[in-house]
Amino acid sequence: MKKIAPFAGLATCIILYSVIIIAATPYIGQQGETYSIFNHFISELGSTHFSVNHMTYNSGVIFSAIGFGLFTFGLLSYVKTPLTKIAVITGVISSFLCIGVGLVPEDYRWPHLILAFSFFCLMTISATLFSWSILKEEQNPFPKYTGIYGFFVTLFFILFLCMPKGLMAIKRTEGPFFSRPEIWWLPFMEWLIFFALTSWIFIISIKMLQFEKKETITKLECSGEISMS
């Protein structure tokens, strides 16, 4: 798992960004609009009514969720403090919820909302706990800046919760007559959570690879296979 985890983390990011671009490019919404991260929710890319490539997007979410679960479980290969164990358990559970997000697209409104919100909650808790471990637990080998960076996920999630939700009700009522603001802060804040999480996963995955490389060099030096000079 130690060797798989960093590649699973990188694959998670690559898959997600790829399917988002594939789904967003031809997207035509209920109001005939093109897709924008400034006023569309992420899940709208999975709509079977308005997203031409919804199957690609939803499948990508499922595969990336599996990668996220493997990445999260792999953190135990680097640190096994009580705090990180809770973070890993929470993260793995959130990955199963993310699979549900891909299986139940936004057309099924309430089940999808429950799965998506539960995923974001547990994922944020997991990232927050592991980031706290990086900052406060000496056994955690990850650099302190990765812990500080991880708290951006926490910050954006809190801001997301604080955003007004009134426009969502208006959107449901007005349907095709709903006029999206150029910047709708609620979905845009969801995107900021996404960018913070995926970039954090990418950074942690790179550090994992660096740890692996350093460990390999140390073993070779100890065995005398390479010069220690």
108-122 confidence digits (pLDDT tens): 989 999 999 999 999
Which residue range forms the structural domain that includes residue 154?
Answer: 4-208
For residue 219, tell me if it sits in a domain: no
For residue 228, tell me if it sits in a domain: no
Residue 138 token pair: 């000496």
Nearest to 157 by CA among 184, 130, 195: 195
- Residue 5 pLDDT greater than 90, yes or no: yes
Count of domains forming the chain: 1
* CB count in 10 Å sphere of residue 191: 18
* Mean of per-residue pLDDT scores for the chain: 93
For residue 217, tell me if it sits in a domain: no
- The pLDDT value given to residue 213: 86
Q: Give CA–CA dist 195/174, Å, rounded.
A: 30
> Could you tell me the pLDDT band of residue 226, with boundaries at 50, 70 and 90?
low
Higher pLDDT, 109 or 156: 156
Give percent of the chain above pLDDT 90.
81
Give percent of the chain above pLDDT 70.
96
How far is CA 67 from each of CA 7, 44, 55, 164, 181, rounded to the nearest angstrom? 8, 22, 18, 33, 35
- With a CB cutoff of 8 Å and minimum separation 6, the contacts of 12 are 64, 67, 68, 71, 198, 201
Q: CB–CB of 57/46 below 8 Å?
A: yes
Report the range of poorest mean pLDDT among 92-106, 151-165, 177-191, 215-229. 215-229
For residue 129, tell me if it sits in a domain: yes
For residue 81, tell me if it sits in a domain: yes
- Residue 191 pLDDT greater than 70, yes or no: yes
- The pLDDT value given to residue 221: 66
Q: CB–CB of 17/57 below 8 Å?
A: no
For residue 195, tell me if it sits in a domain: yes
For residue 214, tell me if it sits in a domain: no
Digit-coded pLDDT (tens) for 167-181? 988 988 888 788 899
Residue 6 parent element (H or E): helix 4-24
Digit-coded pLDDT (tens) for 95-151? 999 999 999 999 998 999 999 999 999 999 999 999 999 999 999 999 999 999 999
Q: CB–CB of 181/164 below 8 Å?
A: no
For residue 221, tell me if it sits in a domain: no
> Could you tell me the pLDDT band of residue 229, with boundaries at 50, 70 and 90?
very low
Q: Residue 153 in 3-state DSSP?
A: helix
Mean local confidence (pLDDT), 22-33? 93
Q: Give Cα 25 to chain centroid, integer Å.
A: 21
